[in-house]
Homo-oligomer: A and B are copies of this chain.
């Protein structure tokens, strides 16, 4: 007994995620957002409430997007352990230094834009980071089982170190450091890892 919606909420949210990911929160105006989502002001506020709420939903959606069937799920396929991790890093650096519209991890952008001062953003980001870290940690444990890493290394620290390198190189790329330099710095990390055994 009411007028049906003319757009798909999930799809609109995906578009919103894409814009926020690409441009950040503050730098995305409502007009940008509406244009990307393909809806108009009234529908937007009716369905999503506010720019902020949409942003928070986009963050958790990103988390799902990355881990469920996304890039992180490839860690268990192919050659597991260090090779898979290295492949993931290379793919990440390629996306960061390439000319795709969406560059780098949404969470790094969100972290830096809010600098931990927004509790809700922080919580959403931290939840996503935890999921990613867990997946990487699992890969490192596989690497241990495969004998690619010695059994005494702390897998949690190692996982965090790997993520930090990826994120750090991401920021370096945005600072203007050339792609090849970033690639060889990443390679250096894996060379060091391999030499542990």
Interface residues as binary, A80-116 with B (CB distance below 8 Å gives 1, 0 otherwise): 0000000000000000000000010001110111111
Contacting residue for A111 out of B154, B157, B174, B181, CB 8 A: B174
Alpha-carbon gap, A161 to B192, bound state (A) = 11
Alpha-carbon gap, A110 to B63, bound state (A) = 25
CB of B112 within 8 A of CB of A108, answer yes
Q: Interface size of A by Cβ–Cβ distance < 8 Å?
A: 52
Q: Which residues of B contact A69 (CB under 8 A)?
A: none
Q: Give A114-173 interface residues, CB cut-off 8 Å to B.
A: 114-116, 122-123, 125-126, 129, 153-154, 156-158, 160-161, 163-173
Alpha-carbon gap, A160 to B123, bound state (A) = 30
Q: Which residues of B contact A177 (CB under 8 A)?
A: 126, 129, 160
A43 at the interface (CB under 8 A from B): no
If A26-B26, A167-B168 are given as contacts, then 18 extra A-B residue pairs at C-beta distance below 8 Å, sorted by A number, are: A108-B171, A112-B112, A114-B174, A116-B175, A125-B175, A125-B176, A153-B188, A156-B181, A156-B184, A158-B185, A161-B186, A161-B189, A164-B164, A164-B165, A165-B165, A168-B169, A192-B192, A195-B196
Closest 5 CB pairs of A and B: A168-B168, A164-B168, A112-B112, A160-B185, A126-B176
Residues of A whose CB lies within 8 Å of any CB of B are: 24, 26-27, 103, 107-109, 111-116, 122-123, 125-126, 129, 153-154, 156-158, 160-161, 163-177, 181-182, 184-189, 192-193, 195-196
